[in-house]
Amino acid sequence: MAELEKLTKQIIRECEAEGEPVTEAEAREMAEMEIKAKGIKRYEQAETKPTRKTRERKVDKEKEMILSDVRDLIELMGGKSITMKTETEIKFDFNKSSYTLKLTKHRPKKTSKS
């Protein structure tokens, strides 16, 4: 109740400062509405995100050629359970151990234009 009375007096002072005097009953009603409004939560659902187009992944033929040659070499050395993940890596077992060989192609460094 103290909050309601405090807010009522504050509303009366603000209205008088603006040149629009209000009665205590009107100020009390405004204060009650303001207190009730604080308890209301407003939820809004965000708009759905636009769907992205899936880009087709380009296969690097050079990397594929290099790793297929490496796979053949591992087979000659006695490697077992050889699997190739795209053209980027090979997983295999050799001498009771499991290995992964990953091939990374480095881009040329950018030169700054002066």
Q: Token pair of 88, please? A: 């980027």
Residue 114: pLDDT band with limits 50, 70, 90: low
Mean pLDDT on 71-86? 87
Residue 57: pLDDT band with limits 50, 70, 90: confident
Half-sphere exposure of 36 (CA within 13 A, CB side): 6
List, in sequence order, every residue forming a beta bridge with 93; answer none if it has no partner.
Answer: 80, 98
User: Do residues 103 and 63 touch, judged by C-beta distance below 8 A?
Assistant: yes
Predicted TM-score (pTM) above 0.85: no
Mean pLDDT on 53-81? 87
Per the prediction, the chain carries an average pLDDT of 84
